[in-house]
Amino acid sequence: MAARFIYIHLGLLIMALLMTSACTERIDIELDSTYQRLVVEAAVTSDSVRHHVLLSVTSDYFSNQPAGQLENAVVELSFEDETMQLMESTEIPGRYESPIAFSGVPGTTYTLTISQIDVDEDGVTERYQASSTMPGGSEIESVELRHYSTPLVSGHSVILFAYNPVDRPDWFGFKLIKNSDVLTDTLTKYSVFSDELFDTGYFPGLPVGFLSDDNPREALYSGDTLTLEMDCIEEAYYNFVTEAQLEIAGSYPLFSGPPANVVSNIDNGAQGYFAAYSILRFTVIVE
């Protein structure tokens, strides 16, 4: 019996070694090049600012060069009966700004048009367009900071109390600013939420952010100010953010589907998104 037990374990050990060596075998994958595509990062908000558009082009997966910025494009923004041409920045390549500062209005549809460019370099100029309607109508009642502590981590939870119209579903994005430092400075940190769970028109203490005491940027002390920015966004923009975050984080291949391009609202095969959203802010002073 003892000899049989030893043989069984020896066999399992050999199988494990074979599987481990197979898992570490190097496989070279050749990825072909493809034509360039336009990448757009653009938004119109309810803030009174000079709204801007960032244009760049895609590059190969293994390229060790930053993506090229797209210059000399004709960029126009249309809404209601007005069309304005955005001005190309002389300091930041690929950045186009509205000639004046203005506030976006909820309920208004904004259309972005990009033309007079040859992204795929086939000798024929292309034209791209996207539209977005700005949501609105929500109201922040209050924001609370609640300290939490566990044997492993400690910090503050950001709790939102807000009103939202019950006659339609809505989608939201949340940003956190500590003493003018935008903590949610990347897409991976941008928190988005659907109100489908709350059909009463009231958010009764919704956790919308967590700040760690171990992170110097996030740790809160007496006298600090924390501002919660609540963005009222379209469902399509909510889908774009969630898909982009999933692509960035990656997924285990065992149960996941095949990879695909992130959804975009820009036509003619471009990537990125043009969003219009209204902004609400609430500031708390740490005691």
pLDDT band at residue 11 using 50, 70 and 90 as cut-offs:
low
Q: Dihedral of CA 172/165/51/47: which sign?
A: negative
Tell me how far apart the alpha carbons of residues 223 and 19 are, in angstroms, rounded to a whole number. Answer: 57
Q: Dihedral of CA 219/225/226/229: which sign?
A: negative
Q: Give residue 201's pLDDT.
A: 80
Contacts with 205 (C-beta within 8 Å, 6 or more apart), sequence order: 144, 159, 160, 161
At 173-226, the pLDDT tens digits run: 999 999 999 999 999 999 999 877 676 788 889 999 999 999 999 999 999 999
For residue 182, give the nearest of 231, 226, 242 by alpha carbon.
Answer: 226
User: Looking up tokens 């609370």, which residue turns up?
Assistant: 144
Q: Give residue 20's pLDDT.
A: 56
Q: 38-133 has which CATH code?
A: 2.60.40
Q: What angle do CA 137, 139, 144 make, to 5 degrees?
A: 155
Q: What is the mean pLDDT of residues 228-243?
A: 95
Residues of the chain above pLDDT 70, percent: 81
Q: Give residue 5's pLDDT.
A: 45
Tell me how far apart the alpha carbons of residues 221 and 223 are, in angstroms, rounded to a whole number. Answer: 6
Q: Which residue has the higher pLDDT, 1 or 68?
A: 68
Q: Which residue has the higher pLDDT, 212 or 36?
A: 212
Q: What is the mean pLDDT of the chain?
A: 87
The type of residue at 104 is G
Q: Is the pLDDT of residue 172 over 70?
A: yes
SS3 100: coil
Q: What is the mean pLDDT of residues 148-176?
A: 89
Tell me how far apart the alpha carbons of residues 130 and 270 are, in angstroms, rounded to a whole number. Answer: 10
Q: Give residue 179's pLDDT.
A: 96
CB distance 177 to 218 below 8 Å: no
Tell me how far apart the alpha carbons of residues 56 and 280 are, in angstroms, rounded to a whole number. Answer: 30
Q: What is the mean pLDDT of residues 2-10?
A: 49
Fold agreement (38-133, 139-261+279-285): yes
The type of residue at 27 is I
Q: What is the mean pLDDT of residues 38-65?
A: 89
Q: Is the pLDDT of residue 257 over 90?
A: no
Q: Give residue 1's pLDDT.
A: 47
Kindly list the distances between the CA atom of residue 43 and the CA atoms of 104, 123, 272, in Å, as whole numbers in the listed order.
10, 30, 11
Q: Do you know the residue count of the chain?
A: 287
For 139-261+279-285, the fitting CATH number among 1.10.8, 1.10.1740, 2.60.40, 1.20.1440 is 2.60.40
- Per-residue DSSP letter, 137: -
- Please state the domain extents for the chain: 38-133, 139-261+279-285
User: Looking up tokens 């309810």, which residue turns up?
Assistant: 46
Q: Is the pLDDT of residue 259 over 70?
A: no
- Strands of the sheet with 154-163, listed across from one edge: 139-149, 154-163, 202-212
Q: Which residue has the higher pLDDT, 159 or 255?
A: 159
- 139 burial via Cβ count (<10 Å: 0-12, 13-18, 19+): exposed
Residue ranges of alpha helices (H) inside 24-154 are none
Point out the least confidently predicted range of 6-20, 97-111, 139-153.
6-20
For residue 74, give the nearest of 119, 129, 117 by alpha carbon.
Answer: 117
Between the two ends of the chain, the Cα-to-Cα distance in Å is 70
